Amino acid sequence: MALKAVSICICANQSISHLGVTDLGCRRSGSVLNLRFERKWECCGASAQRKPQAPVLGLQDGSELTHITETRGFHKDLNSLPRPLTAMDLSSFPRDGVKVRVAYQGLSGAYSEAAALKAYPKCETVPCDHYEATFKAVELWLVDKAVLHIEHSVGGSIHRNYDLLLRHRLHIVGEVQLLVNHCLLGLPGVRKEELKRVLSHPQALEQCEITLNKLGVVRVSADDTATAAQIVASEGLRETGAVASARAAKIYGLDILAEKIQDDSDNISRFLILAREPIIPGTDRPHKTSIVFTLEEGPGVLFKALAVFALRDINLSKIESRPQRNRPLRVVDDSNQGSAKYFDYLFFIDFEASMAEPRAQYALGHLQLNLVCWSVSKAQF
Ligand SMILES: O=C(O)C(=O)C[C@]1(C(=O)O)C=C[C@@H](O)C=C1
């Protein structure tokens, strides 16, 4: 199979559209941010100037992924890049007297909120009813950052959130790893033997399988662990427990009936921090870079793609593949007699090097020579 040479594109050069504050189609329902996705886009001047000349890839939902072609180095267009985030932007200290606002999925007491507070200890956390809303909250300038659960040490990758990364134009600017210690919560005075049901996020229920099997309870899924605790407390459910954090117990006035009930003591969740603007990579500290690309079909093509990193001693910390949604299925033979059908895949790779390092630039240049590759985004961890 012939390899097709195309350009590698860098998300750092993407333009940003935003809504004026008065145009926001949003409302607060309770304490959770609930966005009505009205699309009254208004381009800021700077982004209009940065309109790319390079091809624009249409995504399945009709939105466009814009990118700018780089032919030689990866920093050729630095002058036209958006303003880099400064150390001040990334700190938890107030900017102009205003706290960093971080959107997360769930209610107060959810692990996503704990991840936001680990990244920015003095931030103002903004609960959202679903992950899509956290992206929108950043895009609409309601908040500065969003936390996105991307992987768990037991459950693996959160595939839907990989897909959301492509559907939106936010940049990965950091990573948080959180040790998730689940507790069994109940109304004050309730004993765990009295529980008939346990409510929680499906992932949390899965992570506590052994304890829940021993208790012989029915599992009921909730949007997040904190919502589970809130339901038990607000509805006074004596026979229903919740799997949630110790912090959720405190917030919703529940008793901790058992601690550290997860099957695996190293129960780690990995979250990404997303922002409107990218970080300009340096060499001052260890960095990670995230890229996503497609490959032409053929033997050894993925091997060759990965070799560009191995040849330069660059460690890959994560590989994930997802079906390419705008080219989902290739039918080789339509006779319907057991003919082969292929998905086209997108490959997501995290590698441990900064784009300021020549070896990383050469590796992506090498990839560019050999592969169909698009959308390189940067994650500075
Ligand atoms: O329910 C929460 O508290 C969350 O933050 C969600 C979530 C998830 O996305 O899977 C996060 C980490 C835990 O592993 C369990 C649940």
Measured CA to CA, the distance from residue 11 to residue 68 in angstroms comes to 8
pLDDT band per the 50, 70, 90 thresholds, residue 81: very low
pLDDT value at residue 337? 62
User: Mean pLDDT over all residues of the chain?
Assistant: 75
The two three-digit tokens of residue 296, written as one number: 């032409």
pLDDT band per the 50, 70, 90 thresholds, residue 298: confident
Q: Where are the alpha helices (DSSP H) in the chain?
A: 45-49, 87-90, 111-119, 131-139, 159-167, 202-207, 209-215, 225-234, 246-252, 301-310, 358-370
Q: 113, 147, 148, 152: which to mutate for ligand 1, most atoms within 8 A of CB?
A: 152
Closest C-alpha residue for ligand 1 atom 11: 111
pLDDT value at residue 371? 63
pLDDT value at residue 247? 97
Closest C-alpha residue for ligand 1 atom 9: 149
For the CA of 245, the nearest atom of ligand 1: 3
pLDDT value at residue 362? 95
Q: How far, in Å, is the centroid of ligand 1 from the Cα of 249?
A: 15
Q: How far, in Å, is the centroid of ligand 1 from the Cα of 203?
A: 7
Residue 221 has pLDDT above 50, yes or no: yes
Do 42 and 23 touch, CB atoms closer than 8 A? Answer: yes
Q: Is 49 exposed, middle or buried (0-12, 13-18, 19+ CB in 10 A)?
A: exposed
Q: 151, 200, 201: which to mutate for ligand 1, most atoms within 8 A of CB?
A: 201
For the CA of 112, the nearest atom of ligand 1: 5
If one compares 349 and 1, the residue with the highest pLDDT of the two is: 349
Summarize pLDDT for 122-178 with one digit per residue, the tens.
999 999 999 999 999 999 999 999 999 999 999 999 999 999 998 998 999 999 999
Measured CA to CA, the distance from residue 90 to residue 246 in angstroms comes to 28
Do 102 and 116 touch, CB atoms closer than 8 A? Answer: yes
Q: How far, in Å, is the centroid of ligand 1 from the Cα of 368?
A: 37
pLDDT value at residue 193? 95
Q: How far, in Å, is the centroid of ligand 1 from the Cα of 202?
A: 9
Q: How far, in Å, is the centroid of ligand 1 from the Cα of 28?
A: 22
Q: 164, 225, 263: which to mutate for ligand 1, most atoms within 8 A of CB?
A: 225
Of 6-15, 109-118, 363-372, which gets the smallest average pLDDT?
Answer: 6-15
Summarize pLDDT for 3-58 with one digit per residue, the tens.
232 223 233 222 222 222 222 223 333 344 544 322 222 222 223 233 222 222 22
Q: Which residues line ligand 1 (CB under 6 A)?
A: 106, 110-112, 149, 152, 180, 201, 203-204, 224-226, 269
Report angle CA 315, 317, 322 to the nearest 5 degrees. Answer: 125
pLDDT value at residue 13? 24
Closest C-alpha residue for ligand 1 atom 12: 111
pLDDT band per the 50, 70, 90 thresholds, residue 217: very high
Percentage of residues in the chain having pLDDT higher than 90: 57
Residue type, 235: E
For the CA of 228, the nearest atom of ligand 1: 1
- Mean per-residue pLDDT, 293-298: 82
Of 236-240, 358-362, 373-377, which gets the smallest average pLDDT?
Answer: 373-377
The phi-psi region of residue 41 (left if phi > 0; otherwise alpha if psi is between -120 and 50; otherwise beta) is: beta
How many Cβ atoms are within 10 Å of 24's Cβ, its own excluded?
17
Q: How far, in Å, is the centroid of ligand 1 from the Cα of 201?
A: 6
Q: 203, 230, 260: which to mutate for ligand 1, most atoms within 8 A of CB?
A: 203
For the CA of 201, the nearest atom of ligand 1: 1
For the CA of 222, the nearest atom of ligand 1: 1
Read off the DSSP letter of residue 81: S
Give the containing element (helix H, strand E) for 126. Answer: strand 124-128
The ipTM is: 0.93
Closest C-alpha residue for ligand 1 atom 4: 111
Taking alpha carbons only, the member of 36, 43, 33 closest to residue 64 is 43
Measured CA to CA, the distance from residue 270 to residue 253 in angstroms comes to 28
pLDDT value at residue 369? 78
pLDDT value at residue 97? 55
Residue 194 has pLDDT above 50, yes or no: yes
Phi, psi (degrees; rounded to nearest 5) at 295? -130, 145
Q: How far, in Å, is the centroid of ligand 1 from the Cα of 359?
A: 36
Q: How far, in Å, is the centroid of ligand 1 from the Cα of 251?
A: 17
The two three-digit tokens of residue 176, written as one number: 């948080």
Percentage of residues in the chain having pLDDT higher than 70: 67
Summarize pLDDT for 307-354 with one digit per residue, the tens.
999 999 999 999 999 988 766 566 666 566 655 666 788 899 999 999
If one compares 20 and 226, the residue with the highest pLDDT of the two is: 226
Of 29-33, 263-267, 279-283, 331-335, which gets the smallest average pLDDT?
Answer: 29-33
- Winning range, highest mean pLDDT, from 292-296, 313-317, 364-368: 313-317
Taking alpha carbons only, the member of 187, 152, 158, 159 closest to residue 263 is 152
